[in-house]
Structure 1
Amino acid sequence: EVEDTAFRHDLLKGMRYGLAGRRNLSAPPSWKKVSAKLGQSLDAGVREEVRLLGLAFGDEAAIKAMRAKVMNAKAPVEERRRALNVLVEKKADGLAGDLKFLLDDNALRLDALRGMAVFGGNDVPGLVLARYANLNDAEKRETVQMLVSRPTYAGALLEALARGIIPRSEVSVFAARQILGFNDEKLNASLREAWGELRPTAVNKKPLFERYRKLLTLENLKKANLSNGRLIFTRTCAACHKLYGEGGQIAPDITGSDRATLDYLLENVLDPNAAIGKDYQLNVVTTKDGRAVSGIISAENDNSLTVQSLTERVVLSKDDLASRKILPVSMMPEGIFLALKDEEVRDLVAYLAGTEQVPLPKEQE
């Protein structure tokens, strides 16, 4: 009954967040009356929140309206994105076909890729790989993460890697580790052949430290291409770490860290499991339909689990979970340097040791 528009908006939004991850909800007895009234609000934000909340209650009219908004290229992009994300979370009927259509929508392609990871489908790998060459860097990272979310998709990824459709440099150590997590010997053999060996770092890491100390001398670092170092950081580290105000928020912001000190850098990169904070332990959650999501747990309640993965924040209903494991390893994988050429390691370390941002290579700008 409160007439305060801002209060109404916040209340509806809070209710929607509180119901995230819950399935088969029944609308309150008064919902039809309340939604009809608030659906006529002069405030667009309130009207949108009413429709989004209606999705949680299985309101067919709300689902139809939200699907129409998502597919309307003239609607505001942020409103389309919010609607799509809620529809994906609720696994709305008919949305799988919409997601395939949205692969050719520049504004929502990234969100469509994330949605396709949820819905699955045997034709998904072929659809995304056919477009891979024309995707931007963020979309390529999302595609790789989506393709390592299911064993059958991982097989398609490795085949594309072997055929040169996806360059080896665009499949991260994190993605390779997730493929190994399926414990499928056929996939492991394909990974070794197409990507390389992801060997556990030896218990005695002294030789490894000595190798990179010899490589990363001050004289050699002076030869580094700092712009290329930034590009490697963007592809290898920026999904988790923020530097100079750019990057992810999964791992610590390293702008103010002691990254100019070589030993500090080597200790954190070569031996990330030496000291693992509880908040940074790797969690692997598998859904009943075979999807694997790896990351850190950012929120949890009686009904849902929120996982911050390498590329997105995933809200999972506990009713959909098949298993959940907390591994005794850091979210940051070992072997990052081993997956790079020596020149790339040099460029990356020199960039990290810098005191100011540098431009990306011209072809990447």
Structure 2
Amino acid sequence: MLKVTIIGSGIAGSSLYYMFKKAGFSVKVIDPRIRRIFPSLIHSLLLVDKDVYLSSLALDFYKEFSVETKEFPSFTIGNVDEKLVNLWEEYGVKIEERRLFDSQGLYALGGDRLVYVKKMIDNVPVIKERASIIKRGNTVTVKVNNSEVNTDIIILAAGPWNNQIFDVPTKSYYCWASLTLTQNKELDRMFVYDYELSFYSRPFLGIGIKTAIIGDGEAIEAKPCQRIKVNPEEVMSKARKRLGDLKIIYTSGEFCEGTPDMRPAYGRLLDNLYFIGGFNGYGAEVGPGVARLLFNFITKGDEDKDYIIDRFKGIKDFKIGKEPHEL
């Protein structure tokens, strides 16, 4: 029986744990569990190009492993290419033009949901320690507390910590949003994607109370666990123009990981070392989908060149760019 060691138990690492465990592999997950896990995150099919396929794979994963989701309608404001609308509809999203918030936009059913990832992640058994990777020729070993882990395959899935553990072409940055009081309880029952004013709004609890989570502020390049100050009014002033009076309850965030083209990546780094990451804050949407690609790559040899990490060979440095899911 092949032994798999996964470094990181976020959405990617947890997804891989469930996949390999179901396939009969011996699986260990190492994670100090210092990162806060939010109870729910956004899953949307309203992405761009092939990332819609990744999102559909993620949704299949949530259904296969009984991860709780709750569907909500969404309203998208801004110019959306007809080909993209057709693509969303191919994946089962029902779309019609409507006027809401004094704006014309696309009202969608079946495209957006909250996925309750915390229980999924918490149910993964972990070795609650920090792992280190030591390169030896074209292979690596993993050590925990100076003891070598007996394993055949190592998967680096530590999100924003990936480039601190091994030399990979990713950078970490801070992404954040604000919990707000609203005048419209419907904002806790729907998603709003405003590409004219550059903000999003999502349900907080999804039960119709006068709250919403609003975000899409500037990404701040920084190492994980740094103390970061943000100005929530940067986003809130724009959102008020569309949604009316909004009062900030608190602002919070976490560190995300980006690649040179700000798209997900996976692949083999060395003979026994594999990588998955670069979700750009969209882990719940594309993470299990990329995990499925990596699982198929390891177990079947399948390769999806659009997401393979080899596309970054020769890149030494880059700047964090705009998330490619945004229109």
The structure with higher relative contact order (CA 8 Å, sep 6+) is 2
Q: Report the structure, 1 or 2, having the larger strand content.
A: 2
TM range (shorter): under 0.3
Structure exhibiting the larger radius of gyration computed from Cα positions: 1
Structure with greater proportional helix content: 1
TM-score by length of 1: 0.24
Scaled by the length of structure 2, what TM-score is found?
0.26
